[in-house]
Copies of this chain bind each other. A is one copy, B any other.
Protein backbone atom coordinates (compact mmCIF):
# COMPACT_ATOMS: atom_id res chain seq x y z
CA UNK A 1 0.00 0.00 0.00
CA UNK A 2 1.16 3.54 -0.68
CA UNK A 3 2.20 5.85 2.10
CA UNK A 4 -0.54 7.77 3.88
CA UNK A 5 0.88 11.17 2.91
CA UNK A 6 0.23 10.42 -0.74
CA UNK A 7 -3.24 9.01 -0.67
CA UNK A 8 -5.95 9.92 -3.17
CA UNK A 9 -9.42 8.50 -2.53
CA UNK A 10 -10.99 6.69 -5.48
CA UNK A 11 -14.32 8.38 -4.64
CA UNK A 12 -12.71 11.69 -5.69
CA UNK A 13 -12.50 10.33 -9.26
CA UNK A 14 -15.51 8.02 -9.46
CA UNK A 15 -15.59 4.95 -11.69
CA UNK A 16 -15.40 6.79 -15.00
CA UNK A 17 -12.64 9.06 -13.74
CA UNK A 18 -10.65 6.03 -12.60
CA UNK A 19 -11.11 4.23 -15.92
CA UNK A 20 -10.08 7.36 -17.81
CA UNK A 21 -7.03 7.77 -15.59
CA UNK A 22 -5.89 4.16 -15.95
CA UNK A 23 -6.65 4.10 -19.68
CA UNK A 24 -4.07 6.81 -20.28
CA UNK A 25 -1.36 4.22 -19.64
CA UNK A 26 -2.72 1.77 -22.19
CA UNK A 27 -0.96 1.28 -25.49
CA UNK A 28 -2.44 -1.05 -28.08
CA UNK A 29 0.26 -2.88 -30.03
CA UNK A 30 -1.08 -6.05 -31.59
CA UNK A 31 -2.55 -5.91 -35.08
CA UNK A 32 -5.36 -8.21 -33.90
CA UNK A 33 -6.52 -5.61 -31.34
CA UNK A 34 -8.82 -3.43 -33.46
CA UNK A 35 -10.27 -1.27 -30.67
CA UNK A 36 -9.59 -1.47 -26.94
CA UNK A 37 -11.03 0.14 -23.82
CA UNK A 38 -13.69 2.81 -24.34
CA UNK A 39 -16.71 1.14 -25.90
CA UNK A 40 -19.26 -1.45 -24.76
CA UNK A 41 -16.82 -4.13 -25.90
CA UNK A 42 -13.37 -4.42 -27.44
CA UNK A 43 -13.06 -5.50 -31.07
CA UNK A 44 -10.43 -8.01 -32.14
CA UNK A 45 -9.80 -9.89 -35.36
CA UNK A 46 -7.89 -13.14 -35.85
CA UNK A 47 -8.72 -14.00 -39.47
CA UNK A 48 -7.71 -17.62 -40.04
CA UNK A 49 -6.37 -18.36 -36.59
CA UNK A 50 -8.11 -20.27 -33.86
CA UNK A 51 -8.73 -18.41 -30.63
CA UNK A 52 -8.10 -19.63 -27.10
CA UNK A 53 -9.82 -18.08 -24.10
CA UNK A 54 -9.06 -18.60 -20.42
CA UNK A 55 -9.99 -16.86 -17.20
CA UNK A 56 -8.81 -16.85 -13.58
CA UNK A 57 -9.98 -15.09 -10.45
CA UNK A 58 -7.81 -14.11 -7.49
CA UNK A 59 -9.36 -13.26 -4.12
CA UNK A 60 -7.59 -11.51 -1.24
CA UNK A 61 -7.13 -13.80 1.76
CA UNK A 62 -7.59 -16.89 -0.42
CA UNK A 63 -5.05 -16.52 -3.23
CA UNK A 64 -2.84 -13.74 -1.92
CA UNK A 65 -1.91 -11.95 1.28
CA UNK A 66 -1.12 -8.26 0.95
CA UNK A 67 0.99 -8.39 4.11
CA UNK A 68 3.86 -9.68 2.01
CA UNK A 69 2.65 -9.33 -1.59
CA UNK A 70 3.48 -5.98 -3.17
CA UNK A 71 0.53 -4.82 -5.30
CA UNK A 72 2.74 -4.41 -8.36
CA UNK A 73 3.85 -8.04 -8.08
CA UNK A 74 0.25 -9.12 -7.58
CA UNK A 75 -0.83 -7.36 -10.77
CA UNK A 76 2.04 -8.94 -12.66
CA UNK A 77 1.30 -12.42 -11.33
CA UNK A 78 -2.43 -12.13 -12.02
CA UNK A 79 -1.66 -11.58 -15.70
CA UNK A 80 1.07 -14.23 -15.88
CA UNK A 81 -1.07 -17.06 -14.51
CA UNK A 82 -3.61 -16.43 -17.27
CA UNK A 83 -0.97 -16.22 -19.99
CA UNK A 84 0.43 -19.50 -18.70
CA UNK A 85 -2.90 -21.16 -19.54
CA UNK A 86 -2.72 -19.78 -23.08
CA UNK A 87 0.84 -21.06 -23.59
CA UNK A 88 -0.32 -24.43 -22.26
CA UNK A 89 -2.51 -24.65 -25.38
CA UNK A 90 0.63 -24.01 -27.48
CA UNK A 91 -0.94 -20.67 -28.37
CA UNK A 92 0.22 -17.07 -28.09
CA UNK A 93 -1.68 -14.62 -25.87
CA UNK A 94 -2.65 -11.35 -27.54
CA UNK A 95 -5.27 -9.63 -25.39
CA UNK A 96 -6.46 -9.53 -21.79
CA UNK A 97 -9.41 -8.01 -19.99
CA UNK A 98 -9.00 -7.09 -16.32
CA UNK A 99 -11.83 -6.73 -13.81
CA UNK A 100 -11.08 -5.62 -10.27
CA UNK A 101 -13.23 -5.03 -7.21
CA UNK A 102 -11.75 -3.30 -4.17
CA UNK A 103 -12.86 -1.67 -0.96
CA UNK A 104 -12.13 1.93 0.00
CA UNK A 105 -9.14 0.66 1.98
CA UNK A 106 -7.38 1.02 -1.38
CA UNK A 107 -6.22 4.44 -2.54
CA UNK A 108 -5.72 5.56 -6.11
CA UNK A 109 -1.97 5.12 -5.57
CA UNK A 110 -2.51 1.49 -4.51
CA UNK A 111 -4.62 0.77 -7.61
CA UNK A 112 -1.96 2.43 -9.74
CA UNK A 113 0.64 0.11 -8.20
CA UNK A 114 -1.52 -2.89 -9.07
CA UNK A 115 -1.97 -1.70 -12.65
CA UNK A 116 1.72 -0.91 -13.03
CA UNK A 117 2.35 -4.63 -12.54
CA UNK A 118 -0.44 -5.49 -14.98
CA UNK A 119 1.01 -3.14 -17.59
CA UNK A 120 4.53 -4.48 -17.02
CA UNK A 121 3.36 -8.04 -17.70
CA UNK A 122 1.47 -6.83 -20.80
CA UNK A 123 4.64 -5.20 -22.08
CA UNK A 124 6.88 -8.15 -21.33
CA UNK A 125 4.57 -10.70 -22.96
CA UNK A 126 3.39 -8.47 -25.82
CA UNK A 127 -0.25 -8.52 -24.76
CA UNK A 128 -2.82 -5.71 -25.07
CA UNK A 129 -5.22 -4.76 -22.27
CA UNK A 130 -8.45 -4.26 -24.25
CA UNK A 131 -11.20 -4.13 -21.66
CA UNK A 132 -12.33 -4.64 -18.12
CA UNK A 133 -14.41 -3.46 -15.24
CA UNK A 134 -13.58 -1.62 -12.02
CA UNK A 135 -15.95 -1.65 -9.11
CA UNK A 136 -16.06 -1.44 -5.35
CA UNK A 137 -16.25 -4.33 -2.90
CA UNK A 138 -17.36 -4.33 0.72
CA UNK A 139 -14.08 -5.88 1.75
CA UNK A 140 -10.83 -6.79 0.12
CA UNK A 141 -9.53 -7.02 -3.41
CA UNK A 142 -10.62 -9.36 -6.21
CA UNK A 143 -8.99 -9.61 -9.62
CA UNK A 144 -10.55 -11.46 -12.53
CA UNK A 145 -8.57 -11.65 -15.75
CA UNK A 146 -9.50 -13.19 -19.09
CA UNK A 147 -6.73 -13.88 -21.60
CA UNK A 148 -7.28 -14.38 -25.31
CA UNK A 149 -4.70 -15.88 -27.62
CA UNK A 150 -4.24 -17.27 -31.09
CA UNK A 151 -2.77 -20.30 -32.79
CA UNK A 152 -2.95 -22.05 -36.11
CA UNK A 153 -5.50 -24.83 -35.81
CA UNK A 154 -2.80 -27.45 -36.44
CA UNK A 155 -0.64 -26.13 -33.57
CA UNK A 156 -3.15 -26.28 -30.71
CA UNK A 157 -2.25 -28.84 -28.06
CA UNK A 158 -4.92 -30.21 -25.73
CA UNK A 159 -4.43 -32.09 -22.49
CA UNK A 160 -6.47 -35.01 -23.76
CA UNK A 161 -4.19 -36.34 -26.50
CA UNK A 162 -1.31 -38.08 -24.70
CA UNK A 163 -0.76 -41.74 -25.63
CA UNK A 164 1.05 -44.69 -24.06
CA UNK A 165 4.87 -44.56 -24.27
CA UNK A 166 4.97 -40.76 -24.76
CA UNK A 167 7.68 -39.13 -22.67
CA UNK A 168 6.54 -36.87 -19.84
CA UNK A 169 8.47 -33.59 -19.79
CA UNK A 170 8.47 -30.64 -17.44
CA UNK A 171 10.05 -27.21 -17.83
CA UNK A 172 12.22 -25.39 -15.30
CA UNK A 173 12.16 -26.63 -11.74
CA UNK A 174 9.43 -27.38 -9.24
CA UNK A 175 8.46 -26.65 -5.64
CA UNK A 176 10.12 -23.24 -5.44
CA UNK A 177 6.90 -21.19 -5.32
CA UNK A 178 5.61 -23.41 -2.52
CA UNK A 179 8.64 -23.16 -0.25
CA UNK A 180 8.80 -19.43 -1.03
CA UNK A 181 5.26 -19.13 0.30
CA UNK A 182 6.16 -21.09 3.44
CA UNK A 183 9.06 -18.73 4.06
CA UNK A 184 6.83 -15.66 3.66
CA UNK A 185 4.19 -17.15 5.96
CA UNK A 186 6.82 -17.94 8.60
CA UNK A 187 8.23 -14.42 8.56
CA UNK A 188 4.70 -13.00 8.73
CA UNK A 189 4.04 -15.04 11.88
CA UNK A 190 7.29 -13.84 13.41
CA UNK A 191 6.45 -10.25 12.52
CA UNK A 192 2.93 -10.52 13.96
CA UNK A 193 4.33 -11.88 17.21
CA UNK A 194 6.89 -9.09 17.46
CA UNK A 195 6.61 -6.17 15.02
CA UNK A 196 10.16 -5.10 15.89
CA UNK A 197 11.55 -8.24 14.28
CA UNK A 198 12.75 -7.66 10.75
CA UNK A 199 11.84 -10.36 8.21
CA UNK A 200 14.72 -12.73 7.52
CA UNK A 201 14.45 -13.22 3.78
CA UNK A 202 18.07 -12.59 2.75
CA UNK A 203 19.60 -15.08 0.35
CA UNK A 204 16.21 -16.47 -0.68
CA UNK A 205 15.69 -14.36 -3.78
CA UNK A 206 15.05 -17.27 -6.11
CA UNK A 207 12.23 -18.96 -4.22
CA UNK A 208 10.67 -15.62 -3.24
CA UNK A 209 10.61 -14.61 -6.88
CA UNK A 210 9.07 -17.97 -7.80
CA UNK A 211 6.21 -17.15 -5.42
CA UNK A 212 5.85 -13.40 -5.88
CA UNK A 213 6.80 -12.87 -9.51
CA UNK A 214 6.38 -16.07 -11.51
CA UNK A 215 6.88 -16.06 -15.27
CA UNK A 216 4.92 -17.89 -17.95
CA UNK A 217 6.91 -20.11 -20.31
CA UNK A 218 6.57 -18.09 -23.50
CA UNK A 219 10.18 -19.08 -24.25
CA UNK A 220 9.33 -22.79 -24.27
CA UNK A 221 6.50 -22.36 -26.78
CA UNK A 222 8.87 -20.50 -29.09
CA UNK A 223 11.63 -23.06 -28.55
CA UNK A 224 9.43 -26.09 -29.24
CA UNK A 225 8.32 -24.45 -32.47
CA UNK A 226 11.92 -23.91 -33.42
CA UNK A 227 12.81 -27.51 -32.55
CA UNK A 228 9.78 -28.64 -34.60
CA UNK A 229 8.42 -30.51 -31.60
CA UNK A 230 4.67 -30.48 -31.19
CA UNK A 231 3.82 -31.90 -27.75
CA UNK A 232 1.23 -34.67 -27.85
CA UNK A 233 -0.47 -33.07 -24.83
CA UNK A 234 0.18 -30.16 -22.48
CA UNK A 235 -1.05 -28.50 -19.27
CA UNK A 236 0.42 -25.80 -17.04
CA UNK A 237 1.36 -26.50 -13.44
CA UNK A 238 -0.74 -24.29 -11.22
CA UNK A 239 -1.99 -26.82 -8.66
CA UNK A 240 1.07 -29.07 -8.46
CA UNK A 241 2.71 -31.66 -10.72
CA UNK A 242 0.77 -34.61 -9.28
CA UNK A 243 -2.59 -32.98 -9.68
CA UNK A 244 -1.84 -31.78 -13.22
CA UNK A 245 -0.52 -35.16 -14.36
CA UNK A 246 -3.68 -36.77 -13.02
CA UNK A 247 -5.75 -34.25 -15.03
CA UNK A 248 -3.72 -34.91 -18.15
CA UNK A 249 -3.89 -38.70 -17.82
CA UNK A 250 -7.58 -38.62 -16.96
CA UNK A 251 -8.36 -36.45 -20.01
CA UNK A 252 -6.15 -38.64 -22.23
CA UNK A 253 -7.49 -41.90 -20.74
CA UNK A 254 -3.98 -43.09 -19.96
CA UNK A 255 -1.84 -43.79 -16.93
CA UNK A 256 1.57 -42.31 -16.24
CA UNK A 257 4.78 -43.08 -14.39
CA UNK A 258 7.01 -40.46 -12.77
CA UNK A 259 10.52 -41.06 -11.39
CA UNK A 260 11.30 -39.24 -8.15
CA UNK A 261 15.01 -39.06 -9.02
CA UNK A 262 14.19 -37.13 -12.19
CA UNK A 263 12.18 -34.35 -10.53
CA UNK A 264 13.91 -31.01 -11.23
CA UNK A 265 14.41 -29.19 -7.92
CA UNK A 266 16.55 -26.10 -7.51
CA UNK A 267 19.17 -26.28 -4.75
CA UNK A 268 17.62 -23.31 -2.91
CA UNK A 269 14.20 -24.97 -2.97
CA UNK A 270 15.86 -28.13 -1.69
CA UNK A 271 17.66 -26.48 1.21
CA UNK A 272 14.70 -24.39 2.41
CA UNK A 273 12.40 -27.43 2.17
CA UNK A 274 14.87 -29.30 4.39
CA UNK A 275 14.97 -26.34 6.80
CA UNK A 276 11.17 -26.67 7.14
CA UNK A 277 11.44 -30.46 7.50
CA UNK A 278 9.54 -30.91 4.25
CA UNK A 279 10.42 -33.62 1.79
CA UNK A 280 11.71 -31.69 -1.29
CA UNK A 281 10.14 -34.26 -3.64
CA UNK A 282 6.75 -33.74 -2.01
CA UNK A 283 7.16 -29.97 -2.50
CA UNK A 284 7.94 -30.59 -6.18
CA UNK A 285 5.00 -32.98 -6.62
CA UNK A 286 2.32 -31.10 -4.70
CA UNK A 287 3.55 -27.54 -4.25
CA UNK A 288 1.72 -25.73 -7.00
CA UNK A 289 2.02 -22.19 -8.39
CA UNK A 290 5.18 -23.01 -10.33
CA UNK A 291 3.52 -22.14 -13.69
CA UNK A 292 5.87 -24.46 -15.50
CA UNK A 293 4.61 -26.54 -18.43
CA UNK A 294 3.96 -30.25 -18.17
CA UNK A 295 3.82 -31.89 -21.59
CA UNK A 296 4.24 -35.16 -23.37
CA UNK A 297 6.17 -35.86 -26.55
CA UNK A 298 6.35 -38.74 -28.93
CA UNK A 299 9.41 -40.99 -28.46
CA UNK A 300 10.68 -39.96 -31.91
CA UNK A 301 11.25 -36.42 -30.57
CA UNK A 302 13.41 -37.59 -27.68
CA UNK A 303 16.70 -36.51 -29.27
CA UNK A 304 15.41 -33.01 -29.98
CA UNK A 305 14.77 -32.18 -26.33
CA UNK A 306 17.01 -34.46 -24.31
CA UNK A 307 19.89 -32.00 -23.96
CA UNK A 308 17.82 -28.88 -23.41
CA UNK A 309 18.57 -27.37 -19.99
CA UNK A 310 15.01 -25.99 -19.76
CA UNK A 311 13.34 -29.36 -20.14
CA UNK A 312 13.51 -32.46 -17.95
CA UNK A 313 12.10 -35.83 -18.91
CA UNK A 314 10.53 -37.13 -15.71
CA UNK A 315 8.62 -40.21 -16.80
CA UNK A 316 6.37 -41.70 -19.43
CA UNK A 317 2.73 -42.32 -20.25
CA UNK A 318 1.37 -45.82 -19.61
CA UNK A 319 -1.90 -47.59 -20.22
CA UNK A 320 -4.92 -46.41 -18.23
CA UNK A 321 -5.02 -49.68 -16.31
CA UNK A 322 -1.62 -49.03 -14.75
CA UNK A 323 -2.83 -45.78 -13.16
CA UNK A 324 -0.60 -42.82 -12.28
CA UNK A 325 2.37 -43.75 -10.13
CA UNK A 326 5.56 -42.42 -8.66
CA UNK A 327 8.68 -44.60 -8.62
CA UNK A 328 10.66 -43.48 -5.59
CA UNK A 329 14.43 -43.30 -5.37
CA UNK A 330 14.46 -46.68 -3.61
CA UNK A 331 12.46 -48.25 -6.43
CA UNK A 332 9.09 -48.48 -4.71
CA UNK A 333 5.88 -47.56 -6.53
CA UNK A 334 3.18 -45.32 -5.03
CA UNK A 335 -0.04 -44.09 -6.66
CA UNK A 336 -0.01 -40.33 -7.27
CA UNK A 337 -2.70 -38.36 -5.45
CA UNK A 338 -4.05 -34.88 -6.12
CA UNK A 339 -2.88 -32.99 -3.09
CA UNK A 340 -2.70 -29.81 -5.12
CA UNK A 341 -3.99 -26.58 -3.77
CA UNK A 342 -7.78 -26.55 -3.47
CA UNK A 343 -9.42 -23.19 -2.87
CA UNK A 344 -12.31 -24.89 -1.09
CA UNK A 345 -10.16 -26.58 1.50
CA UNK A 346 -8.35 -23.37 2.37
CA UNK A 347 -7.85 -23.13 6.07
CA UNK A 348 -8.57 -19.42 6.16
CA UNK A 349 -12.18 -19.82 5.06
CA UNK A 350 -14.84 -18.30 7.30
CA UNK A 351 -16.63 -20.74 9.58
Among residues of B, the one whose C-beta sits closest to the C-beta of A236 is B40
Q: Which of B13, B56, B99, B235 contacts A57 (CB 8 A)?
A: B99
Q: Which chain B positions have C-beta within 8 A of A46?
A: 46, 51
**Pick the contact of A41 from B35, B91, B136, B343 — CB < 8 Å?**
B91
Q: Which residue of B lies closest to A86 (CB)?
A: B41
Q: Which residues of the other chain, B, contact A91 by a CB distance below 8 angstroms? A: 41
Which of A142-150, A201-209, A316-324 has 4 or more CB atoms under 8 Å from chain B? A142-150
**Copies per complex?**
2
Q: Give the shortest distance, in Å, between A153 (CB) and chain B (any CB).
A: 7
Measured CA separation A89–B38 after assembly (Å): 12
Alpha-carbon separation in the docked complex, A160 to B153 (Å): 35
Cβ of A144 to closest chain B Cβ, rounded Å: 4
Residues of chain A in range 327-351 having any CB-CB distance to chain B below 8 Å: 338, 342-346, 348-351
Q: How far apart are the CA atoms of A336 and B101 in the complex, in Å?
A: 29
Please state if A338 and B16 are interface contacts (CB–CB under 8 Å).
yes
Chain A interface, number of residues (Cβ within 8 angstroms):
82
Per-residue CB proximity of A15-43 to B under 8 Å, as 1/0? 11010000000000000001100111111
Q: B101 touching A40 by the CB < 8 A rule?
A: no
Contact with B along A61-102 (1 / 0, CB 8 A): 111000000000000000000000110110100010101110
Q: A113-154 interface mask toward B, CB cutoff 8 Å, 1 = contact, 0 = none?
A: 000000000000000001111111111101010111100010
CB-based contact B146/A101 at 8 Å: no
Are the C-beta atoms of A43 and B39 separated by less than 8 Å?
no
Q: Which B residues are CB-close (under 8 A) to A210?
A: none
Question: Is there an interface contact between B142 and A41, defined as CB atoms closer than 8 Å?
Answer: no
A235→B38 CA distance, assembly (Å): 11
Enumerate 23 A-B pairs (CB-CB under 8 Å) in ascending A order.
Answer: A10-B344, A14-B342, A14-B344, A14-B345, A15-B343, A15-B344, A39-B235, A40-B234, A41-B147, A42-B54, A44-B51, A44-B52, A46-B51, A53-B148, A54-B97, A55-B133, A59-B101, A103-B349, A136-B349, A138-B140, A138-B348, A139-B140, A142-B142
Could you list which residues of chain A lie within 8 angstroms of chain B, going by C-beta atoms? Answer: 10-11, 13-16, 18, 34-35, 38-48, 50-57, 59-63, 85-86, 88-89, 91, 95, 97, 99-101, 103-105, 130-140, 142, 144, 146-149, 153, 156, 158-160, 234-236, 251, 338, 342-346, 348-351
